[in-house]
Amino acid sequence: MATKVLVYNDDNNEMEAYYLEESDTMPHATEGSLTVGEFRGSSNSPTIWTNKSLMDCWNTLREQWGSPIEVRYAFKRIWEGGHGAQSQHYAGTAMDMAQSFTNEQRDALRILAEQIGCFVYVEPAYLTPTWVHVDRRMTPSACAAGYIMVAEGSINTYVLVLQDALNTLGFTGAGLDGVFGVGTKNALIDYQESRGLIPDGIAGCQTWTYLTSEVKGTGSTDTTIL
C-alpha cells in the first residue's frame, strides 16, 4: 500500500503531497539516500510528514559523510507515543540514525552534524549512546516540549500534528492537510472549551501540553484520519 507523504516546503510555504512506496526515496532527499520506509521507521502510519528543510539538511550531512547512513526511525505519530520528550519526531523533523555504526563513527557523525550547522538540535552521546538523534525543529518553541505556536493561517508540520491530535480525540473538523483554516480553528475551540482552556483557537503551550498528554499512546482510533 502506498504511503501518503506530506512535505512542508519551507521555500515557498506550501504543503506538498506524494503517494510513495516504502522503497521510494523521500521527496527532496538525494536519490536513494533515504527511503520512505526508513523515514517511517517503526510507525505503522500510512500517512507521514516532514519539512523540506530537514531533507536539505540530511542531504548536506549525507554528502559530507560520503557513505550511506542508515535511518531506522524518523517519523512517529503522536498517538503512537513511546519516545519520551523527543516530541519533534511527531512533527517529522527528527531522525534516529547510525544504529549499526561503532561508537567512534557515531561520535564523528555527531560532530559533523554540529559542524554543518543546519540541524537545530544534535542530541549528545550520553543521552542516546547507541544512535544519533538530530532534528530540524521549527522555532521559536511555544513551550518546553518544543512545539511552536500555530494559529489560523499557519501552514507547517505542526499544524498536521495538531489536526491529527484533534481528530484522534474526536474533534473531527480539522482535516489533515497542514493548513490551519476555519475548520481547524473551530475544532480547536471546541476542544479548548471542552477542557476548560481559554477558547482562543490558538495552539500555544497550554493547549499543546493538554493535547499531547491526552493523545500520547492512545493508538489509532475510529476518528483518526489516516
Toward Zn ion, which CB reaches closer, 133 or 216?
133
**Residue 223 CB, nearest approach to Zn ion (Å):** 27
Residues 112-171 that bind Zn ion (CB under 5 A): 133
Using the contact rule CB under 5 A, the part of the chain among 36-44, 78-86, 138-146, 191-199 near Zn ion is 78-86
Q: Which of 161, 190, 194 is nearest to 177 (CA)?
A: 161
Q: Please report how close the Cβ of residue 19 comes to Zn ion at its closest, in angstroms.
A: 26
- Residue number with CB closer to Zn ion (38 or 96): 96
Of residues 86 and 154, the one with the C-beta less far from Zn ion: 86
Query: Which of 59, 45, 25, 19 is closest to 161 using CA atoms?
Result: 45
Residue 140: cis peptide before it, omega within 30 degrees of 0: yes
Question: Are 41 and 75 within 8 A, CB to CB?
Answer: yes
Q: What is the DSSP string of 67-99?
A: S---EEE----GGG--STT-GGGTTT-EEEE-T
Q: Is 96 in the site for Zn ion (CB under 5 A)?
A: yes
- Does position 40 bind Zn ion by CB under 5 A? no
Span interacting with Zn ion, options 31-39, 86-94, 142-150, 202-210, rule CB under 5 A = 86-94
Nearer to Zn ion by Cβ, of 128 and 206: the residue is 128
- The distance of closest approach from Cβ of residue 94 to Zn ion in the complex, given in angstroms and rounded to an integer, is 5
The order of strands in the sheet holding 3-9 is 14-20, 3-9, 47-51
Q: Which is nearer to Zn ion, 99 or 213 (CB)?
A: 99
CB-based burial label for 35 (10 Å; 0-12, 13-18, 19+): middle
Q: Which residue is nearest to Zn ion (CB)?
A: 133
Decide whether 52 or 133 has the Cβ nearer to Zn ion.
133
Q: According to the binding rule CB under 5 A, does residue 38 interact with Zn ion?
A: no
Going from the C-alpha of 129 to that of each of 65, 82, 193, the distances in angstroms are 19, 18, 43
Strand ranges for the chain from DSSP E: 3-9, 14-20, 47-51, 71-73, 94-97, 121-122, 132-135
Contact assessment for residue 2 and residue 21, using Cβ atoms and an 8 Å cutoff: yes
> Which region, judged by CB under 5 A, interacts with Zn ion, from 34-42, 82-90, 160-168, 213-221?
82-90
Q: Applying CB under 5 A, which residues contact Zn ion?
A: 86, 96, 133
